[in-house]
């Protein structure tokens, strides 16, 4: 008889996952923009216009702040954001590898 085991991440691991996914998102976005892609998010597009380094630093820093706040007060939005960012990162890595 098979036993189901429910895997859970600690709040700190969840926060680290969120920040890591945002770092990969920022890096792949920077790579794609430097190779001719256009950022579709108007806020992020404006930020990229200030410089790739500024964009990556601010995006990762803001994700760290958001993760810290969500870990302290409520976890369910952080879980939902991680799930959505897995999709975003998978899509962007696929584009980077196939273009």
**Of 98, 97, 67, nearest to 81 (Cα)?**
67
pLDDT at 22 over 70: yes
What is the pLDDT at residue 5? Answer: 65
- Sole residue written with tokens 């960012």: 85
Contact criterion met (CB below 8 Å) for 89 and 32: no
78-97 pLDDT, tens digit each: 999 999 999 999 999 999 99
Asked whether residue 1 carries a pLDDT value surpassing 90, the answer given is no
> How many alpha carbons lie under 13 Å from residue 1 in its C-beta half-sphere?
1
Tell me the per-residue pLDDT of 40-79, one tens digit each, with 9 for 90 and over.
999 999 999 999 999 999 999 999 999 999 999 999 999 9
Question: In the chain, which ranges are continuous DSSP H helix?
Answer: 11-34, 42-48, 52-73, 76-98
Residue 2 is predicted with a pLDDT of 66
């Amino acid at each position: 008889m098979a036993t189901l085991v429910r895997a859970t991440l600690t709040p700190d691991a969840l926060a680290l996952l969120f920040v890591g996914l945002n770092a990969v998102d920022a890096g792949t976005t920077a790579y794609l923009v430097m190779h001719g892609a256009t950022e579709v998010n108007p806020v992020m597009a404006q930020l990229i216009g200030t410089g790739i380094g500024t964009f990556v630093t601010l995006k990762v820093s803001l994700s760290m702040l958001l993760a810290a706040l969500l870990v302290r007060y409520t976890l369910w939005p952080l879980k939902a954001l991680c799930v959505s960012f897995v999709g975003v990162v998978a899509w962007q890595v696929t584009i980077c590898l196939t273009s």
